[in-house]
Amino acid sequence: MQKAQLDKSNAGSRPPSEVVAHYLEAIYYMWSEGEPLRSARLADWLGVSRPTVTVAVRRMAGYGMVRMNKRKEIELTAAGRRAAEAIVRRHRIMERWLTDGLGLDWVTADEEAARLEHAVSEVVERRLYEVLGRPTTCPHGNPIPGYSKAVPREVRLASLEPRTHASVSRVSEVAEREAPTLLNYLHERGLTPGRDIAVLEVDGVARTITVRAGKRSVTLSHDTAAKLWVVPK
């Protein structure tokens, strides 16, 4: 991402600039995963320097989009969250169109949606949503803000014990952005939303977890398993 300047003309009710939108989107994704939101983590996500993030967050705070809590973590304000949800909603609807309508794979669809989300109007967004049959999630199972609710009893696959049965609900959005090749890896092994799985073994020494997905056994590292959300049966 290029280090562009934030434009104060985006304050208030105007749509955020593309730079601000990148920050809002990243903050929203990490917030939805329950990650501590610190400037250093945000800098790693966006691929910019920490001073750049510090300046950006300070300006966004001036716009009333974010604030710092007592733990020095970044929080979205109500206005910031509404703006972030609009960006994420458009991205996930675009992903649906690119996969369901155009037949693109998970990784390509995510990359193309990131390019298109800033150019699509609300009119086109709403029309696509209707044409696609009013989807509630993106192809990876993450909820479309405003059109779906959080899944109850959802936990990370890495937290399950042996002989536990569950259904895959979604792939972490953090994984989508930080390890795009992981999307293809999971898709090729059938670990996709709606798939029923059974935990066969948890190896605490090797930090791996082996699951059965259909007729196939798949061994995942603890880090990879933590990027899959499931609903225990």
Condensed to tens digits (0 to 9), the pLDDT of residues 78-131 reads 999 999 999 999 999 999 999 999 999 888 898 899 889 888 899 999 999 999
Q: Do 87-150 and 155-232 show the same overall fold?
A: no
The C-alpha atoms of residue 184 and residue 171 are separated, in whole angstroms, by 11
Domain 155-232: CATH class, spelled out: mainly beta
* Higher per-residue confidence, 179 vs 113: 113
pLDDT in the model for residue 143:
93
CATH architecture of 8-76: Orthogonal Bundle (1.10)
Domain ranges, ordered by start, for the chain:
8-76, 87-150, 155-232
Span 198-208, mean pLDDT?
A: 95
Q: How many CB atoms lie within 10 A of CB 141?
A: 20
pLDDT at residue 12 is higher than 60:
no
**In this model, does residue 57 exceed pLDDT 90?**
yes
Q: Which two three-digit tokens encode residue 20? A: 């601000």
Task: Give residue 183's pLDDT.
Answer: 82
* Average pLDDT over every residue of 23-38: 89
Buried/exposed 150-169: b ≥16 CB within 10 Å, e otherwise: ebeeebbbbebeeebebebb
The CATH number that domain 87-150 falls under is: 1.10.10.10
Checking if the pLDDT of 9 tops 50, the result is no
Q: What is the pLDDT of residues 128-169, one digit of tens each?
A: 999 999 999 999 999 999 998 767 789 999 999 999 999 999
Strand partners, 166: 197, 232
